[in-house]
Structure 1
């Protein structure tokens, strides 16, 4: 895949455009962390039903990955991204009748459409990160895009809470449940109506963005050559006939599945759990998880590979995930000692210890994605492209595992349900220690 002959001499403009898209990816994706507790209140949902908000979104990545590839092959990458932005517009507009009717099914349809638009956008945008500059500096560009993505994830719940909830920012599932029926109905209607103008505004803004992207000097990517750059020692790869013959890849795809599930649980259930505890501003709490992910990302940029290898980083992520998960399960929901030590001295609002430990899972998750990919793709040679597609399919963990948390939460309680994170991090640790080294079944 190469840049077209009309590509500009400087890559600053293409990088700026792609960087803006990665910011959009993060903003739209991690807005889900605010939407989960918000729609639980508006539609009066159980925890499992509320987590369908995230599942409908992430299911689109699995369902629409191959159709997205076909669209890009037929219409080109630049046109594909413009269509992806328009897909987001359609999803935003569906939110308006959903808010007016307070029908949860319509919200889920909107989430799937938005997820589909993002799938097309990400499928097209990621190759640009590698191709708009020298190969030897591609890793730096990837990490920079990751910082933009997670930075937007930090801002999204804060902006959502300020713009959509307004004067109702302090409400929670507990406070609404305690209201008399007339007051509850009026509050829910006001909360729901708060979505209409912001989502209409986003729809208009993204129509303009699609037009600007179409008119931008972003060069087209060409996929005329089918050769894929080899990754690692490819001598063994030449003798194999299927990606199923690469155990480290298959086990790596499972690792991505459990990791994305753990990441979404940490980011999208923190507000739900806090709302059920009666914590104010619950819809903004995903920002705490994203803040710790940003800290982890920053450390990764500094430490990897100068001081710490990818394998070591993955081991450290898994172990810290296990520790924080245990602390969530056995933490004190009435104490704020942890947040007092970590950020209370900065004047940032304090949170129960259990909520603080959920946020710290963001730190544990930060380095898993960038560490697994090179380990899983090592030695694939001509199978690298198919291997990458298989790893992308692992994102479906974000659709399924949060639902498991929801069922467990309703069965054994929200705090105890975080025990399901333990086997997820144990598997990631297995892959870091042994799984990625297995070259034959």
Structure 2
């Protein structure tokens, strides 16, 4: 594979602070990516109550948020090529600031459509940021340690996913017991409307604070020493580039299958992170707003394990096989487990003194172990041997993020129709089976 990049001289030379400042800035951005993204897991059950939604309607949160990646990925790449990566990062933060501010009129009007507009703006800003920030991971240090930097960013991203639901619970979900369905059903129409409006208004302060922090971060990065980078390599060629320049991107089976793999992976990752709160709420878990943190915590554990064992003891391909098998096992346990049993938590996690959760909810969280290493494993496998098509291949892979928009919605539709959220997790089984196929066979295909 050939990817041409050049490291700015300001990174190669200068003081220790100047060399590590770009890494610190990008690390802060990845933490923020995770904070905004995984807040959705707590937002879904909250909006279901506030806007009086069914399962299917509630998962429009993930639809509009993740569809922004698919719709805006190529436009974002064009914008970045025009204005540069540093200004692109600032622009992405400005778009996210606007999205956070739109939450204020959304909370005041309690209109679900306005919430969805705000979420699409947040997703659009994140698309620009992701497209701009990811290349820096390659150029801000030695090429051979790029995988370590990606894993560190993954830990920061999912670490923020642990903190975000706790933050949301502290600011928004306190005393949620007074808004249970039985209590709300006992109120007359006017009192019910007042109660739901009071609940919705709780979003104003945290999202105002978020908007302020995003705006300050945009100003900081605008005046920071973060340099622009050259990712085009227009004057460089090699044998792979000459052989591949005339080939259509669709003539690379391992890439197209990789896109499908990422579609299924992002789908199951979002299902594991964003449905667990609503599922736990249905089973009577009192701290349902924090359950996304559990999934993220297991993902962080898997990232740390990956840093230690890959490629020292196992290859990326074998890690992907292990991930797919664990996903199949945990998904089966979710479907077949007893809703009122929590012996697994009592046996393994009683020492934490954290309130026990039912086995089936815990297995949803444990999917974090299965999911963490899929993204870093699939990307290099899918982009291998693309030569000058690498940039186009990367943009196509970004399209796979649409799985996070569609599959949770499918899950919500099955849960609403069947009235059984637990059994609806069966949709993850074919997803993990395809990931397993790609790990064993799909990534090796060079001809259709």
- TM-score, with normalisation over the residues of structure 2? 0.93
How many angstroms does 1:164 deviate by? 1.8
Aligned-partner Cα distance in 2 for 1:438–1:178: 57
Q: Is residue 2:430 matched to residue 1:423?
A: yes
In the TM superposition, residue 277 of structure 1 has moved relative to its aligned partner by 2.3
Q: 1:106 aligns with which of 95, 114, 127?
A: 114
Distance in structure 2 (CA, Å) of the matches to 1:402 and 1:195: 24
Q: Does 1:323 align with 2:329?
A: yes
How many angstroms apart in 2 are the aligned matches of 1:361 and 1:172? 30
Other-structure match for 1:35: 43
8 Å CA contact 1:171, 1:280 repeated in 2: no
Matched, 1:246 2:215: no
Tell me if structure 2 keeps the 8 A contact 1:237–1:383: no
2:311 is paired with a residue of what secondary structure? coil
Partner secondary structure for residue 414 of structure 1: coil
Partner residue of 1:11 out of 19, 22, 33: 19
Deviates further, 157-166 or 45-54: 157-166
Confirm whether residue 130 of structure 1 aligns to residue 134 of structure 2: no
Give the one of 434, 439, 444 matched to 1:437.
444
Indicate the residue corresponding to 2:307 in structure 1: 301
Shift of 1:224: 5.4
Tell me how far apart the structure 1 counterparts of residues 335 and 320 of structure 2 sit (CA, whole Å): 23
Aligned residues: 438
Correspondent of 1:284 among 290, 312, 332: 290
Give unpaired runs (5+ residues) of structure 1.
none
1:348, 1:211 → 2: CA distance? 40
Decide whether aligned partners of structure 1 residues 174 and 353 sit closer, same or farther in structure 2, where only a CA change above 3 A counts.
Answer: farther
CA contact 1:36–1:272 (8 Å) conserved in 2: yes
Residue 45 (structure 1) shift: 0.3
- With over 3 angstroms needed to count, the CA separation of the structure-2 counterparts of 1:183 and 1:239, relative to structure 1, is closer
Partner residue in 1 for 2:161: 153
Task: Write out aligned runs for 1:300-379 (5 A).
Answer: 300-379=306-385
Question: Which residue number in structure 1 is paired with residue 198 of structure 2?
Answer: 190
Give distance in 2, aligned partners of 1:2 and 1:235. Answer: 17
Q: 1:393 to 1:173 in 2, by over 3 A?
A: farther
Deviations 1:363-400 (A, max 9, x none): 11111111111111122222211111111110000001
**SS class of match (1:194):** helix
Residues 174, 278 of structure 1: 8 Å contact kept: no
State the Cα RMSD in Å. Answer: 2.0
Contact in 2 for aligned 1:172/1:279 (Cα 8 Å) = no
**Scaled by the length of structure 1, what TM-score is found?**
0.95
Q: Is the 8 A contact 1:84 1:120 kept in 2?
A: yes
Alpha-carbon deviation of 1:144?
A: 0.8
Asked whether the 8 Å contact 2:241–2:388 carries over to 1, the reply is no
**2:212 corresponds to 1:204:** yes
* Per-residue CA distance 1:277-304 (angstroms, 9 max, x = gap): 2321212110010011111111111110
Aligned to 1:180: 187
CA contact (8 A) 1:86 1:207 kept: yes
From 77, 80, 83, the counterpart of 1:75: 83
**1:44 alignment counterpart:** 52
More deviation in 272-281 or 241-250?
272-281
Report deviation, 1:69.
1.2
Q: Residues 411 and 132 of structure 1: is their aligned pair in 2 closer, same or farther, counting only changes over 3 Å?
A: same
- 1:4 Cα deviation (Å)? 4.2
1:383 aligns with 2:353: no
Give, in whole Å, the separation in 2 of the partners of 1:31 and 1:344.
Answer: 26
Distance 1:240 1:229 in 2: 14
Q: How far is the alpha carbon of 1:334 from its aligned partner? A: 0.6
**1:99-131: per-residue Cα shift (whole Å, max 9, x none)?**
011100000000000000010111111111111
Q: What is the rounded CA distance, in whole Å, between the counterparts of 2:236 and 2:319 in structure 1?
A: 27
Q: What SS does the corresponding residue of 2:200 show, helix, strand or coil? A: helix
